[in-house]
Amino acid sequence: MRRSRFTWFNGVALALGLAFLYVPLALVVLYSFNGSRLVTVWGGFSTRWYGALLANEPLKEAAWTSLKIAVASSALATLLGTLAAYALVRHGRFRSRTLFTGMLYAPMVMPEVITGLSLLLLFVALGLERGFWTVTVAHTTLTLAFVAVVVQARLVDLDRTLEEAAADLGAQPVAAFLTVTLPLIAPAVGAGFLLAFTLSFDDLVLASFTSGPGSTTLPMLIYSSVRLGVTPEINAASSLMMGFVAMLLLAAAVMSRRRGRGAAVRSGRG
C-alpha cells in the first residue's frame, strides 16, 4: 500500500498551521521576560515580573486553590470515567445505554455557561455552601467524560482473551480487572487523569459560577486582571501555567512510554 505523496502544498499548510498555533503563545512567553513596563516594546531581558509574582500573595493562594481542586476533581473523574468506559465496552447493550451515553457525552460539548449555571442552581436549591467542594463537583462532572472517551478507546482495542484467560485460571472478575485489565489500560487511565487535571486547572467558566468567597481559582484571578488589559505580570503568570502543563505532559509521555513497553514485554511473554 503506497500512501499519497506528501506535496509542497501539504508542507506549507503544516508550517503555516503550526506557526498560527504557536507564535501567539511564544510571544506571551518571550514578553514575560521583558524589562519594560510597556507590554509590546522590548526593554531588555529581565525576570522582574516573575519576582513580582512571588510577592503576590492573592495569586499564590489562588494557584494553591486551583491545584487542590484539580487534584481532587481529576482523581474523582478518573475513577468515575474509567468505570463508565468499562461499563460501555464490556456490557454491550443495556436498557439505559442511550440515556447514559447522552449524559456522558453531552457535557463535553455543552456550552460551559449552561453547565455552570445549572450546577450553581442545584447547589443553591440544596442549600450547599459554595466553595472548594462545589467547584470540585463541577469540574468532575465536566471532565469525567473526557476520561471515559480516552479509556474507552483503549478498552475497545484491548485483547479480550487476556481477561478470559485470567477468568479461566480462576480469577474473580474484580481480581481479573485489577491484575490484568487495569495494568493494560493504565497509560490511557493516566492520560485521562492528566487531561482532567489540566481541564480543571484551566477552567474559568464553571469555577466562576460555582465557587464562593475564599475559593478564588487562578484562572478567575487572571481573568479579572486580563479584563483591564495586557500586563507583563499576567504574561509571567501565563508562562508559568504553560510551563507547568508542559512539564506534566512531558512526565506523562515518559511514563506512558516506559509502561507501554513494559506491558508489551509482559503480553509478549504471556
Partner 1 sequence: MSEARAAAVGRPLVLFPPFLWLALFFLAPFAIVLKISLSEPATAQPPYRPQLPWSLDPERWRAFVEGLGLENYRTLLADDLYWGAGLASLGLAAVSTLLLLAVGYPIALAMARASAAWRPILVALIIVPFWTSLLIRVYAWMAILSPEGFLNRALLALGIVGEPLQILNTNAAVLLGLVYSYLPFMILPLYASLERQDPTLAEAASDLGASPLVTFWTVTFPLSRPGIVAGALLCFIPIVGEFIVPDLLGGSETLMLGRTLWSEFFSNRDWPLASAVAVVMTVLLVGPIVAYRNAEARRLEPRG
> Please, which residue, 24 or 268, has the CB nearer to partner 1?
24
Residue 86 near partner 1 by CB under 8 A: yes
Shortest Å distance, C-beta 68 to partner 1: 17
Residue 163 near partner 1 by CB under 8 A: yes
Span of 49-57, 67-75, 77-85, 256-264 interacting with partner 1 by CB under 8 A: 77-85
Shortest Å distance, C-beta 57 to partner 1: 21
Shortest Å distance, C-beta 158 to partner 1: 10
> Please, which residue, 54 or 103, has the CB nearer to partner 1?
103
Residue 17 near partner 1 by CB under 8 A: yes
Residues 196-255 touching partner 1, rule: CB under 8 A, are 198, 201-202, 204-205, 208-209, 219, 222-223, 226-227, 229-230, 234-235, 238, 241-242, 245-246, 249, 253
Contacting residue, 73, 74, 143, 152, with partner 1 by CB under 8 A: 152
Span of 55-63, 67-75, 159-167, 260-268 interacting with partner 1 by CB under 8 A: 159-167
3-state secondary structure the chain: CCCCCCCHHHHHHHHHHHHHHHHHHHHHHHHCCECCCCCCCCCCECCHHHHHHHCCHHHHHHHHHHHHHHHHHHHHHHHHHHHHHHHHHHCCCCCCHHHHHHHHHHHHHCCHHHHHHHHHHHHHHCCCCCCHHHHHHHHHHHHHHHHHHHHHHHHHHCCHHHHHHHHHCCCCHHHHHHHHHHHHHHHHHHHHHHHHHHHHHHCCHHHHHHCCCCCCCHHHHHHHHHCCCCCHHHHHHHHHHHHHHHHHHHHHHHHHHHHHHHHHHHHHHC
Block residue for cell numbers 467547584: 135
| Count of residues near partner 1 by CB under 8 A | 103
Contacting residue, 19, 25, 54, 264, with partner 1 by CB under 8 A: 25
Contacting residue, 74, 78, 136, 140, with partner 1 by CB under 8 A: 140
Span of 44-52, 53-61, 148-156, 260-268 interacting with partner 1 by CB under 8 A: 148-156
CB atoms within 10 A of CB 108: 13
